[in-house]
Structure 1
Amino acid sequence: MIANHKGEIPVVILLLPFLLGISIGINFSSGTYLMPLAVGFTSLLILFVLLNFYYTRFKVYKKRWLGGMIIHMLLLFAGWIAAISNNELNNSSHFSKLPAQRLQVRINSEPQLKNGLIRFTANVVANVNQKQPSPATGTLMIAIKDSSALQLAYGDELLISGKFAPIDPPFNPAEFNYKKYLAHQNIYYQEFLYPGQYRLFQSNTGNLLIANALALRRQMVQKLKLQLHDPNAIAVASTLILGYKADLSEDVLQAYSKTGTIHVLSVSGAHVAIIWALLAFMLRFLNRFRHGGLIKPIIIIPIIWYYAMLTGFSPAVCRAAVMISAVILGKTYNRHINNLNILAVSAFILLLYNPLLITDLGFQLSYLAVAGLVVLQPVVYAWFTFDNKWVDKLWALCSVSIAAQVITFPLSAFYFHRFPVYFLFSNLFIVIPTAVIMYSGIFYLLLPQIPYISTALAWILEKSILFMNYVLTRVEHLPFASINKIWLTTTEYLLLYTIIICTFYFLYDRKVWLLRTGIILIFLLAVSVSIKKYHSYSTNSIAFLNLRKNMGIVFKNGNQAIVLSNLADTDKNYNYSIRPYLDSCKINDVVLYKPEQEIRSGFLRKQGDFMQFRNQSVAIVSKDYEDTTSAVKLKTDYLYITGSPKIPLAIINKNHEYHTIIIDATNTPKAVQFIVDQASALHTNYVVLKRNKSFVAASN
């Protein structure tokens, strides 16, 4: 395929145990493992050296596997040690382990305004007590609700209060795990600040090169805003060319995501390759000179890395920068290097710098896509042969898109739960507009303001983006544009990748056992999906969700559901906390009701504040609950308390007989404690949703 023997791709083989070691280290990251691992690593290293010194005496040549096994164990330990060492919580000087009245922090990212909050990450420099600073380390996520904070920039040092809090875990089923996402960036704590709770301590204390790159990017974004008029065009141009994503709207993101072209909005290898091609074209005159071939890489490689820094050092850009640098050097010295080895070398370099990059979705998709192009694309391209050179070029482009989509499908489905049906057309379509956008945008940004020329370049740039957005939006709304609600378990995800490997290896090598293995794995995948679907359709439940300031109850009846909430189905919080649960349960029929509405359906009746769902009932007690005594107690399974009612349980108990109290997240902390104290005194079962996971009750 791309290697007839593992000896052709040694770096790839060596990378595998290193990746395994990092993965183990992320899951077993306690600092207590560090000393035993260091002892084990040192012992193996000494053993390896001794075996090489006494190679003949110990007849090591009869056990050639021994050296390989030791090297693989060394790399596994190295990966594990790197992951543990990179975990900031294992540092004794981490700010969370030291008392602090205030924190001195240095902003290490570009502050961005979103939803009325200025957000950024910062390195903690010192814990301050009684105005005395003591050195500290760690990264903190900060959000400020203050318009004057817009003046803050990378490298500014702030003095803030020491009232940080841990990142909240996901409270609802299938909700995005933001806590885990930030933990993989070494961020475990956050702090919300208001006017008067922070003070600018010092400016411009960060890395000057990065500060200058970010300042240049801001200037370029402002230059785009000078002659581009459409906000979406400006946002796409800023993202596609400069990696500045702050202004992207949800509608644009949705269009690119549903058509399988979201990778265009992530500055990646293709963008870096365009920069390389442009630089190579502009510097080709150097080939006439004796040392021109050596001068070109000296100019091109630093510019490529500066562009990587300008776009935010995303994993995809770093991977491309390392790979292209290696290719340029190889071409300069007429060396042939296997592309998979170059890919593995770039992964080694990046993971040695930051082992947690292995958890970054951009890193995973980027490396998978390139590996797919190297390994699978030749197999796909060989499916058909065409005599016409233009048809052959078109098929070559199609084979690239198919290979990249196939290899990344399980991973993207695992995270995004959808498959773009028209990905082939969408990816073929964007090839030309993307090139036009990149070249016109680069020339517009690099050239000074020249009458007519700058205007013409800006016009081409804006119209190309608007045309691309228009076509992708139309594709997004075509029938069956995407297959949604794909929720894979880890086992199904691994099965899919094994099936892909078996299928393509069979197409390349035609070994029957690969076909048989693939068929068996497809059968196992089908069984797993069928069992999961049957279980979902045959299960009925009530889910009391934690929606913080909003009420939310989901009554699931097979593949139908009724949602009782004061949120609209277009609300961001609904799509973040409720819709993922509905999609993961394979719900096809969803009806949303407001809490005050009456409900009459085949499986749910709601009259006033009383609800009957199959064999279970729920009574709602809100702040409007009236202090009256009824002649007959209302028997319910759950008493749902919402909106911080001030009425005591003793009064409620005169009218209700129930099994469990559900205290939702809309209640104030004071109201929650008031209810909990009474329920404990009465020995009543209760569930508190505020700052806790949702409660799902099964019903038959």
Structure 2
Amino acid sequence: MIAKHKGEIPVVILLLPFIVGIVAGLYCQRANLSLLYIAATILTIAFVILNLGYSKLSVYKMRWLGGLFLYPILFLTGWLLTLQHRELNKADHFSKIPARYMSIHINTEPTVKGDVVRFTADVVQAINRNSIRSCSGTLLVTIKDERATHLSYGEELLIPAKFTEIEPPYNPGEFNYKRYLANKNVYHQVYLYPRQYKILRAGQGNPVIAFALQTRRTLVEKLKANMHDTTAIAVASTLILGYKADLSNDVIQAYSKTGTIHILSVSGGHVAIIYALLALVLGFLDGYRRGKLIKVFCIIVLIWAYALLTGFSPAVNRAALMISLVICGKTFARYINSLNILAASAFVLLLYDPFLLTDVGFQLSYLAVAGLVIIQPVVYEWLVFKHKVANYLWSACSVSIAAQVITFPLSAFYFHQVPVYFLLSNLLIILPVMLIMYSGLLLLLLPQLPWVSGILGYVLEHSILVMNKALAWIEQVPFASIGKIWLNGPEHLLLYLLIVAAFCFFYKGNKIYLKLGVVTMLVFCISISLKKYNADRINAISFLDLRKHMGIIFKNGSSGVVLTDLAYTHKTFQYAIQPGLDSMQIAHYTLLKPDSNIRLPYFIKQQNLVQFNNTRLLLLNQSWQLPSIPRQLNVQYLYLSGNALINKKAINGLVVIADGSNSDIYIDKLKNIAVNCKILKRNKSIIIASK
């Protein structure tokens, strides 16, 4: 529903300064809390006095006066809530209390990969020999132990207080896991091995959440009992129950490239299907006195129970809250504006957790629904079909277009790719998704009946397999997605300005918006072109921090050589090297093993000697060792790995670079004998310009 004027969407207008305040709190974390509280208190008192003296002060003659006070109040409220929500700002945070041991409560369902278990936990006690202090804070815990695979939500553990800060990204283009966890209020981590932890007791978590997680595990086991294909089981568990632990990266990539990744996140569409099913089942209540109220109450309770079961993700919370508000509005015959309801749900969720604003799922979910409310009606009016089937298909297409248009800048910014055939993909999955949801829900809700459960499991499994095959086919079609897109912040905002200008032009027909769109597109294209031009002129050597592995990128414009002991398919290559190649806009590169030789116009490697343009580099490790370095080699850089034997005279005058495969003792000795020494271990990558 498109608002004609701002008076129709007051909640949207009030939400904006609140969001700006949250952004201020995220980026200005050292603000003086006392001053903020004083300012907010003064403005609030003035606003109350203004309303109490509305008639006497003739405030109605100055309508702008209320906003003058209300908007700053909302801005400061968002800022204060964000600062208060940040756990590091609390005086009793565990990182500020010295301790030998800590008592923790597991607050999430542990994920298991082989014999490695990972979960977050609330730190509740800091323990020393003679004292026990209560504390707060969330800790990321990783345990490498087969016995730990049986840990569950709510268990209390005793662990040593040997935590470390989450490490930042060290290599170009690498995913910022530290910032991702900080947005979830997690700043520290601990790695544990057998006999380094002790289970104290169970049942320390929220009993409702514990029951929901246990119920979900039981339902996942029921899916496994009635299905055979592991991929189909993983997709069913994710799509119906929000259980993503068994989902493979290949499946996620296939759905992402085809523009259907949204169905793997329990969100509005899933909740709408649940609502339709509940409305049908409980329809008989409409014939009774107060039956509608009972029906509404039951539907809302069951929808929130489903939201709890699926893990309370931002998308499902938004959908559950919106549907609850819509149901209440229709029941009591109130006028409903969808944008107001959307803004109200965002307001409630952000009051509970301001950090949700940084969640990609939260952003995508709300933008997609905003696109459906604002853009979809305009797109739908472009074409008119009298045939019901054609009209239904065009309606589905308009929904997909609206959602993709409003979210593709975010997809390009965060995931660096945009699907091309999203219309075809979303049309092909309509029927399978309906079959999956209804057959899956019936399978899980009904008791285990040999014939009925078997048939439902068969329908569920083969619906998923058919859908996966269709998406796999689309994924293999040429130009299925546009990848390797790296946008900076201004370019991201320019795309959204372009979308707003285009929508306003199509909706209102004013040429001023067309001119704005053309100018925005021109600026965006100039920015992209300049970035590409500069990238093609840069020649550089990037020494990467890959822990125990070697990784050196030689960039020669849009071409390059990657010298590494990792295969292209290795997860470390995909996580730490490939993003750097993409962000540096290296379109063509040669993957070279450390023991291989090669000769290119700009790159020569012969044994342990490398020449890149006019820069020479010598590689030394346990197998490649030299008692001295001949001067005629004219080496400028020395790359050391594997604790290679060196002497002080040999490295005199050279820039020495030591990677993460060297021991800490070796690195300490190296610092004492090398004048110009650069350490990669637990440090950011080193980038050197080359001519």
TM-based fold match above 0.5? yes
| Aligned equivalent of 1:257 | 256
- Residue identity opposite 1:673 in structure 2: D
| Aligned equivalent of 2:453 | 454
- What SS class does the counterpart of residue 461 from structure 1 fall into? helix
- Residue identity opposite 2:586 in structure 1: I
- What SS class does the counterpart of residue 180 from structure 1 fall into? helix
Cα distance in 2, alignment partners of residues 223 and 624 from structure 1:
54
| Aligned equivalent of 1:678 | 673
- Residue identity opposite 2:481 in structure 1: S
Q: Is the 8 A contact 2:278 2:299 kept in 1?
A: yes
- What SS class does the counterpart of residue 195 from structure 1 fall into? coil
- Give 1:699 shift: 1.5
| Aligned equivalent of 2:11 | 11
For the aligned residues, what is the CA RMSD? 1.2
- What SS class does the counterpart of residue 687 from structure 1 fall into? strand
Q: Is the 8 A contact 1:639 1:658 kept in 2?
A: no
2:237 maps to 1:242: no
Q: Which of 649, 657, 663 is matched with 1:668 structurally?
A: 663
- Residue identity opposite 2:15 in structure 1: L
Structure 2 vs 1, CA of residues 631 and 408 (structure 1 numbering), >3 Å: closer, same or farther? closer
| Aligned equivalent of 2:684 | 693
Pairing 1:109-124 to 2, within 5 Å after superposition: 109-114=108-113, 116-124=115-123
Cα distance in 2, alignment partners of residues 432 and 630 from structure 1:
69
Structure 2 vs 1, CA of residues 686 and 378 (structure 1 numbering), >3 Å: closer, same or farther? same
Q: Is the 8 A contact 1:665 1:691 kept in 2?
A: yes
- Residue identity opposite 2:228 in structure 1: H
Q: Deviations over 1:51-91 (max 9, x none)?
A: 22334554433432121121011000000000000000010
- Give 1:186 shift: 0.2
Pairing 1:398-477 to 2, within 5 Å after superposition: 398-477=397-476
Cα distance in 2, alignment partners of residues 208 and 191 from structure 1:
26
- Give 1:585 shift: 1.7
- Give 1:669 shift: 1.2
Cα distance in 1, alignment partners of residues 132 and 189 from structure 2:
20
Pairing 1:20-169 to 2, within 5 Å after superposition: 20-30=20-30, 32-114=31-113, 116-130=115-129, 132-169=131-168
Cα distance in 2, alignment partners of residues 562 and 354 from structure 1:
45
Cα distance in 2, alignment partners of residues 633 and 117 from structure 1:
51
Cα distance in 2, alignment partners of residues 95 and 519 from structure 1:
54
- Give 1:538 shift: 1.1
- What SS class does the counterpart of residue 364 from structure 1 fall into? helix
- Residue identity opposite 2:681 in structure 1: K
- Residue identity opposite 2:23 in structure 1: S
- Residue identity opposite 1:5 in structure 2: H
- Give 1:630 shift: 6.3
Cα distance in 1, alignment partners of residues 468 and 205 from structure 2:
37
- Give 1:150 shift: 1.3
Cα distance in 1, alignment partners of residues 687 and 351 from structure 2:
43
- Residue identity opposite 1:528 in structure 2: S
Pairing 1:388-403 to 2, within 5 Å after superposition: 388-403=387-402
Cα distance in 2, alignment partners of residues 20 and 460 from structure 1:
48
Q: Is the 8 A contact 1:635 1:658 kept in 2?
A: no
- Give 1:331 shift: 1.7
Pairing 1:130-529 to 2, within 5 Å after superposition: 130=129, 132-529=131-528
- Give 1:133 shift: 1.8
Cα distance in 2, alignment partners of residues 510 and 234 from structure 1:
50
- Residue identity opposite 2:686 in structure 1: F
Cα distance in 2, alignment partners of residues 285 and 644 from structure 1:
77
- Give 1:542 shift: 0.5
- Give 1:393 shift: 1.4
Cα distance in 2, alignment partners of residues 15 and 534 from structure 1:
41
Q: Is the 8 A contact 1:566 1:595 kept in 2?
A: yes
- Give 1:298 shift: 1.4
How many residues are treated as equivalent by the alignment?
691
Cα distance in 2, alignment partners of residues 431 and 14 from structure 1:
36
Q: Is the 8 A contact 1:636 1:658 kept in 2?
A: no
Q: Deviations over 1:85-130 (max 9, x none)?
A: 0000010000000001000000000011125410000000110001
- Give 1:615 shift: 1.3
Q: Is the 8 A contact 2:115 2:149 kept in 1?
A: no
Cα distance in 2, alignment partners of residues 209 and 626 from structure 1:
62
Q: For structure 1, which runs of at least 5 residues remain unmatched after alignment? A: none
- Give 1:429 shift: 0.9
- Residue identity opposite 1:686 in structure 2: C
Q: For structure 2, which runs of at least 5 residues remain unmatched after alignment? A: none
Q: Is the 8 A contact 2:627 2:647 kept in 1?
A: no
| Aligned equivalent of 1:546 | 545
- What SS class does the counterpart of residue 656 from structure 2 fall into? strand
- Give 1:389 shift: 2.4
Structure 2 vs 1, CA of residues 510 and 196 (structure 1 numbering), >3 Å: closer, same or farther? same
Pairing 1:608-687 to 2, within 5 Å after superposition: 608-629=607-628, 632-650=631-649, 652-653=650-651, 658-679=653-674, 684-687=675-678
Structure 2 vs 1, CA of residues 283 and 339 (structure 1 numbering), >3 Å: closer, same or farther? same
- What SS class does the counterpart of residue 271 from structure 2 fall into? helix
- Residue identity opposite 1:446 in structure 2: L
When the two structures are superposed, what TM-score results if normalisation uses the length of structure 2? 0.98
Identity %: 53
- Give 1:288 shift: 0.9
Cα distance in 1, alignment partners of residues 356 and 215 from structure 2:
26
- Give 1:383 shift: 1.2
Structure 2 vs 1, CA of residues 298 and 55 (structure 1 numbering), >3 Å: closer, same or farther? closer
Q: Is the 8 A contact 1:550 1:666 kept in 2?
A: yes
- What SS class does the counterpart of residue 92 from structure 1 fall into? coil
- Residue identity opposite 1:689 in structure 2: L
- What SS class does the counterpart of residue 585 from structure 2 fall into? coil
Structure 2 vs 1, CA of residues 591 and 658 (structure 1 numbering), >3 Å: closer, same or farther? farther
